[in-house]
Structure 1
Amino acid sequence: MCESKQARAALRRGLGLPVERCNYMHRYLVPWLRDHDDQHHADVRRAYYAVASLIAARTRSARDTAPEDGTSISWFERPNLGASLGQAVAKGVLKENSAESALHLMARQSSDAVHPGLPALVRQILSGNITVDWAVLLVDLARWNRDRDRIATRWLESYFRTASGTTDPTHLNPAEETGR
């Protein structure tokens, strides 16, 4: 969808906004979503709108960077937002206390508070040529209100492992990621 300037502009308009204020995005996203009237669906829909707007808002250099092939590793080994923040700290893109504070703050918030802060945080990560695994972020955001503590713990663990350089974020122990 982001090949078209018109689509990118429409999708960018939704940065940090609730779905109800994203009228220009419906044209592009409604065909991809099933229609259900329950809270779970509302969380999934909001996650799709948030991630679509974040992808569309990438700078030209971030759009031109080829994404890493995440299909060769298992789902639970793929880097989450915490790992991306850890990479940003390790590369000096973000200060350690800023990244850690952002993660701890998100860990205490509902999705209504998390979504508005994501655009600035993701923009900082991308400015350092650090990739964000959009599929993992989408699933985490869709499940945030139902499973916030587990997701936040996974993000924090990945952050500390990556920022401290004790592990490659793409080679985390799957059992640790799933809490088994």
Structure 2
Amino acid sequence: MKKIIYVFALLCGFAFLTSCGSDDGPSVDPIIGTWELFNVSSNVTESDFEYLEFSDRASLFGEDVYSIEFLADGTYERILEEVPLTGGSIGNIDDDGEWELDEDGDLFLEVDGTEIGGLSYEYSVAEITGSDLILEFSEAGSAFPQTKINEWFADGTIDGDGAFTVTDSEFDSLATNFSQNINTTFSLKFSK
């Protein structure tokens, strides 16, 4: 009877030890998979440009779907469906190439072919989990400060529809004298 108990205890101990080992297999990079954009926000660094900021938008350009798939072989495919254009739609945008995520959390996309204007190819990964991905990128540009826009609405330089009422040369003069360089950071939130 002691031999049976001894063998049983030995088998139980062996089963316990083998069940505690790591049998999860190789780890998979959490960025691998298909991600769909669900929230976009922007932040302007300089003051008096808050009118350019937004949050909780469902799209970046007004597209119906923005998805990006990262494959384990280091390639990606990005698809934007039904991207609007004044008076219609330019349809779908599709680009693909190779991706690299460095140790600092910077994500680089190298497109096969020509880069598509307006799309970013360098991001900072702000957060990544099994189901959420937040990518950020910054753009430099120029814009008129809010105080000037308010003044131009009041004096009629800008009409009630938001259109300038001045000639092209007058607008060029306004841009030269009053536009300022700004930096905008965009935050794109994706889910699997």
Which has the larger share of helix? 1
Using the size of structure 1 for normalisation, the TM-score is 0.20
Greater relative CO, 1 or 2 (CA 8 Å, sep 6+):
1
Which has the larger share of strand? 2
Structure (1 or 2) with the larger CA radius of gyration: 2
